[in-house]
Amino acid sequence: MLAARLICALSALVCLLVGLWSLLDPAGVAGMIGYVFAGPAGQVEFVTVYGGFYTGVGAFLALATLREDWLIAALAMSTLGAGGAFVARLAGTLAIGTAPGLTLDLLISEAVWAGLSAVGWYLASRRG
């Protein structure tokens, strides 16, 4: 169970860091991934998803490390969310192409995140 909690905590940390960084420096984070804001609406949308949503998910994952009854659901969500991001990024990369560097790094990090979360999900599910 400790390994599952550590994996969940690591996922929480990743989400909280991305979320808070996006809230504090949206233009900087957006620029790193190739976004340019055409106006305030685009920046608000970016802050909402990358800042607000990621921070909320990170908070849920952090709380789930402390609540055994939430742990399996949190790790399932982390697995499916990171796995979905990996599949979407891979499909987009294959269909559209990519610039070298960050896209490949993000693809690998999403695969690792989904894989680790799946291991945590499995370990937490075996406890009974």
Give Cα separations from 71 to 5, 18, 41, 68 (angstroms). 7, 21, 36, 5
User: Which pLDDT does position 87 carry in this prediction?
Assistant: 96
- Please enumerate in sequence order all residues whose Cβ is within 8 A of that of 92, keeping only pairs 6 or more positions apart, or say none: 98
List all residues 6 or more positions away from 13 whose beta carbon is below 8 Å from its beta carbon.
Answer: 58
33 token code pair: 């991934």
- Smallest CA-to-CA distance from 93 within 102, 85, 103, 105 is with 103
Question: Distances from the Cα of 38 to the Cαs of 41, 42, 99, 119, in angstroms?
Answer: 8, 7, 21, 41
On whether the CB atoms of residues 109 and 74 are closer than 8 A, the answer is no
pLDDT by residue for the chain (128 residues), tens only, comes to 899 999 999 999 999 999 999 999 999 999 888 888 988 998 999 999 999 999 999 999 999 999 999 999 999 999 999 999 999 999 988 898 876 667 788 899 999 999 999 999 999 999 75
With tokens 């991001």, the residue in question is 85
